[in-house]
Amino acid sequence: MDIYFTNTLTKKKEKFIPINQNEITIYSCGPTVYKDATIGNMRTNIFQDVLRRMLEYNGYKVKQVMNITDVGHLVSDGDEGEDKMIKSAKEEHKTPEEIAEHYTKLFFEDLKALNIQLPEVICKATEYIPDMIEYVKKLIENGYAYETSTAIYFNVAKLDKYGILSGINLEDQKAGARVEIDSEKINPYDFALWIKAPKNHIMKWNSPWGEGYPGWHIECSTMSKKHLGEQFDIHTGGIDLIPTHHENEIAQSKGFDGKIPANYWLHGEYLLINGGKMSKSLGNVYLLRDIINKGYDPLVYRLFCYTCNYRNKLNFTWEGIESTSKSLERLRNAYQTHLKGTEELNDKDIKKLKELENDFNKAINDDMNMPLAMSYVWELARYEKKSPKIAELLQKFDKVLAIKIDKENKEEKNKISKEIIDLVEQRKKAREEKNWQESDRIRDLIKEKGYEVKDTKEGTEINKILKEE
């Protein structure tokens, strides 16, 4: 079945044509390991994981490479400010290596909790410094880079066109150029490939241009070329990487061998918090740990991400998490019910199942349209006949969804204390005896203890009452 992607490079939805049918090559820009990864970062990682799972579901072998930036990412995405690793090391009174190790470990813990498959290659920038130096040397040789007293810069004016991803126009930039920090730069949008280290700088390596450290963009160009060759299929990252980081990767690659490194560029949109930006000053930076600490299965967050296409903004609310938690519980219950089902499926049912499978496949192949795919998952989960064949198909879908649909809900149920469960039982008894006064009294008592009971078609539900954050 054909696969379609919305390609940032062409700004169109295009049929996916792999370079090599036997293996799809993907480069995903990974984290800068100087702080905790937020649930926003994790949204991007979930989108990247759905992409590779979708390709595997379609029978492809995948080679995904992800970098770990542990040097060279300055406080601004341009060439300004301190290195994020060094800044964090100073603040936490640790070495940059300790900072990198600590946050890399936490990052992988989050990936595991979210059932995100590990890329085939994970590469740390600091382990590729000699390759980066070679890359920069070649850019100088090719006439695309020049040396100043502080750095080696890429000369964007040497390209036939700079800005093909974001559509920026160099002519406009000349007029309204942003502040130039380095007056030796030829063009305002020239960016650093290698930065000469000031005397007391702690992360530095020898190079033909003296001691220094690499620019952030050269890391990804070097490591992608090293592991995936001159051209690979798909390049992914968050939407914020388009105007600088990915634009500059393209520039470097064109300067190196004249090629755009990837054919399809996929970018995930931002996660918003209560409709706005996640920021420290607003105190609304949430980590996956915050979701887990409230008693939720981390996969609730994964399922929550499917309520919206990866290319659209998604608004995070605790109410959304609570209702998705119920959804996950229902899906897992439905799976168990089908697994234990004994009803025979007739030809009509089999035809319907085939249809739903086809629809699901089409939805995921259509630029990973997860909200649409989920509508078929629900239709299947709610199928009126209960049969293990349906459980089997749900499990197949879970290869892409990765929400552990076959996990039993017991664990979650146990989280509600016995006291509450007993009260719910007493209320049920009172209702059966039509003792409404007693049933209301118990309902209020449960509410005082922080829970709300709701009578649904499927039975009584107990929900934690959410407090405003």
Count residues binding Zn ion (CB under 5 A): 2
The residue within the footprint of Zn ion, chosen from 39, 113, 220, 393 (CB under 5 A), is: 220
Residue whose CB is less far from Zn ion, 215 or 442: 215
Q: Which does 278 bind (CB under 5 to 8 A by kind): ligand AMP, Zn ion, none?
A: ligand AMP
Cβ-based neighbours of 62, under 8 Å, separated by 6 or more: 23, 24, 26, 52, 55, 56, 120
Residue 273 CB, nearest distance to ligand AMP (Å)?
A: 8
CA atoms within 13 A on the CB side of 374: 19
- The stretch near Zn ion (CB under 5 A) out of 216-224, 264-272, 290-298, 315-323 is 216-224
CA atoms within 13 A on the CB side of 352: 16
Residue 271 CB, nearest distance to ligand AMP (Å)?
A: 4
Residue whose CB is less far from ligand AMP, 313 or 399: 313
The residue within the footprint of Zn ion, chosen from 3, 9, 26, 29 (CB under 5 A), is: 29
Residue whose CB is less far from ligand AMP, 88 or 155: 88
Residue whose CB is less far from ligand AMP, 318 or 397: 318
Contact 185, 148 (CB under 8 A): yes
Q: Which does 443 bind (CB under 5 to 8 A by kind): ligand AMP, Zn ion, none?
A: none
Q: Strand, helix or coil at 440?
A: helix
Residue 363: closest CA among 47, 1, 61:
1
Q: Would you say the C-alpha torsion 271, 275, 279, 280 has a positive or negative sign?
A: negative
**DSSP of 270-336, one letter per residue?**
PEEETTB---GGGT----HHHHHHTT--THHHHHHHTTS-TTS-EEE-HHHHHHHHHHHHHHHHHHH
165: contact with Zn ion by CB under 5 A: no
Residues that bind ligand AMP (CB under 6 A): 29, 31-32, 40-41, 43-44, 237-238, 240-241, 270-271, 278
CA atoms within 13 A on the CB side of 310: 28
Q: Which does 271 bind (CB under 5 to 8 A by kind): Zn ion, ligand AMP, none?
A: ligand AMP
- Strand bridging mode 212-214 / 191-196: antiparallel
Q: Which does 303 bind (CB under 5 to 8 A by kind): ligand AMP, Zn ion, none?
A: none
Q: Which does 220 bind (CB under 5 to 8 A by kind): Zn ion, ligand AMP, none?
A: Zn ion
User: What type of residue is 15?
Assistant: K
Residue whose CB is less far from ligand AMP, 31 or 163: 31
Residue 220 CB, nearest distance to Zn ion (Å)?
A: 3
Residue 40 CB, nearest distance to ligand AMP (Å)?
A: 2
Residue whose CB is less far from ligand AMP, 238 or 255: 238
Residue 214 CB, nearest distance to Zn ion (Å)?
A: 12
Q: How far is CA 107 from CA 34, 100, 118, 159, 361, in A?
A: 11, 10, 11, 37, 30
Residue whose CB is less far from Zn ion, 204 or 235: 235
Q: How far is CA 336 from CA 380, 393, 411, in A?
A: 13, 13, 14
Residue whose CB is less far from ligand AMP, 135 or 310: 310
Helix axes of 388-401 and 370-381: crossing angle, nearest 10 degrees: 160
Q: What's the CA gap between 125 and 423, in Å, rounded?
A: 57
Q: Which does 40 bind (CB under 5 to 8 A by kind): ligand AMP, Zn ion, none?
A: ligand AMP
Site residues for Zn ion per CB under 5 A: 29, 220
